[in-house]
């Protein structure tokens, strides 16, 4: 079991550490370009290829999409109530607490823990949360809701086209599959390396808020994931993927939103960093639970 856990955790940790070490060594980096490649090319190709090549049942995709919405609703309810109780600003901290890092960390972990079928299920969850990131998350941080950014995200159209093939029980031409497989292959390594670089660039604030909020993010995500999986009657791999993805740390985009809209950026930076470090520390126990 320990060897199995090491095989899952080691690639994620090493790739993230490479990015962190790269920026700390003063080597040139362009996270804007890397993020643009991942967001606009790599991730849509990975989504399309995985959903169509793995022959994921459209019903399974729909089930994961419902689970994602339920996880989001649960996280929103408990996080809003907690922030109101301790009188912390919702615009600063709510996006960070309700939108876990299902991309940078969740997708690689799902792949290494459950294989390509698990990755396909994780992508279904991630697709919904990614759309929520650029609508709900962005809207909360900005103080006004907008769908303009979301409709420009290529992942939305990658999912839509993939669903056409899946619902029609059709297989895309081989040249399309091979091209999207090749381009999608850059996604997971770049996600992890970029995560490491971003963590290395973050200027942290006080741990007074960050530590308890980080514990809350991970604990509430874990509990909400279990409740959703149990209420939906999920079993096996589907249950494990939902709990794993729900338990991820604060997404990097929440930090970027806080910086953009000047919503306690240093505190959100600390929250992003601490929750990620805590995730690495608790990952063996989490994986032991879900596998």
Write out pLDDT tens, residues 75-122: 999 999 999 999 999 999 999 999 999 999 999 999 999 999 999 999
Note the pLDDT of residue 249. 97
Hey, which residues does 204 pair with through a beta bridge? none
Residue 5 pLDDT > 90: no
Cα separation, 212 vs 38, whole angstroms: 31
Contact (CB, 8 A) for 42 and 183: yes
Residue 134 pLDDT > 90: no
Note the pLDDT of residue 198. 87
Cα separation, 176 vs 192, whole angstroms: 26
3-state DSSP call for residue 97? helix
Cβ-based neighbour number of residue 187 at 10 Å:
24
Contact (CB, 8 A) for 173 and 161: no
Note the pLDDT of residue 237. 97
3-state DSSP call for residue 168? coil
Cα separation, 68 vs 7, whole angstroms: 27
Contact (CB, 8 A) for 191 and 103: yes
pLDDT in tens, 189-235: 998 998 899 889 887 777 888 999 999 999 999 999 999 999 999 99
Note the pLDDT of residue 169. 85
Residue 2 pLDDT > 80: no
Note the pLDDT of residue 102. 96
| Residue extents of the structural domains in the chain | 60-148+189-290
The mean pLDDT value for 127-131 works out to 93
Note the pLDDT of residue 112. 95
Tell the residue number behind the tokens 């090491």, with chain if given. Answer: 6
When computed from its CA atoms, the radius of gyration of the chain, rounded to whole angstroms, is 18
Note the pLDDT of residue 54. 86
Residue 70 pLDDT > 80: yes
Note the pLDDT of residue 239. 98
Beta-carbon contacts of 186 under 8 Å, excluding residues fewer than 6 positions away, are 37, 38, 41, 42
Cα–Cα distances (Å) from 277 to 44, 87, 207, 217, 220, in that order, read 28, 26, 13, 13, 17
Contact (CB, 8 A) for 43 and 218: no
pLDDT in tens, 140-165: 998 887 777 778 889 999 999 999 99
Note the pLDDT of residue 105. 94
Cα separation, 117 vs 19, whole angstroms: 28
Beta-carbon contacts of 232 under 8 Å, excluding residues fewer than 6 positions away, are 63, 66, 67, 70
Cβ-based neighbour number of residue 30 at 10 Å:
10
Beta-carbon contacts of 11 under 8 Å, excluding residues fewer than 6 positions away, are 108, 112
Note the pLDDT of residue 202. 82
Cα separation, 89 vs 199, whole angstroms: 23
Cα separation, 58 vs 168, whole angstroms: 10
pLDDT in tens, 16-65: 999 999 999 999 888 888 888 988 999 999 999 999 998 888 999 999 99
């Amino acid at each position: 079991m320990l060897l199995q856990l090491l095989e899952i955790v080691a690639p994620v940790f090493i790739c993230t550490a490479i990015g962190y070490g790269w920026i700390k060594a003063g080597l040139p980096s362009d996270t804007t370009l890397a993020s643009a490649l991942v967001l606009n090319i790599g991730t849509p190709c990975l989504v399309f290829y995985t959903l169509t090549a793995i022959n994921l049942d459209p019903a399974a995709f729909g089930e994961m999409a419902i689970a994602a919405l339920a996880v989001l609703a649960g996280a929103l309810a408990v996080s809003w109530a907690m922030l109101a109780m301790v009188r912390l600003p919702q615009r600063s901290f709510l996006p960070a607490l309700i939108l876990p890092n299902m991309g940078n960390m969740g997708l690689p972990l799902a792949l290494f823990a459950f294989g390509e079928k698990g990755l396909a299920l994780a992508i279904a969850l991630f697709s919904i949360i990614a759309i929520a990131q650029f609508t709900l998350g962005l809207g909360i941080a900005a103080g006004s809701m907008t769908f303009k950014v979301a409709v420009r995200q290529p992942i939305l159209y990658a999912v839509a086209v993939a669903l056409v093939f899946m619902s029609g029980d059709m297989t895309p031409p081989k040249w399309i599959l091979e091209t999207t497989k090749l381009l999608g292959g850059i996604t997971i390594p770049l996600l992890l390396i970029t995560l490491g670089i971003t963590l290395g660039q973050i200027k942290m604030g006080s741990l007074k808020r960050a530590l308890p909020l980080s514990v809350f993010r991970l604990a509430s995500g874990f509990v909400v994931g279990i409740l959703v999986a149990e209420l939906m009657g999920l079993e096996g791999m589907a249950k494990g993927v939902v709990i794993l993805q729900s338990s991820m740390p604060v997404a990097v985009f929440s930090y970027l939103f806080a910086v953009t809209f000047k919503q306690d950026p240093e505190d959100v930076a600390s929250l992003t960093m601490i929750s990620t470090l805590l995730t690495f520390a608790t990952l063996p126990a989490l994986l032991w639970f879900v596998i």
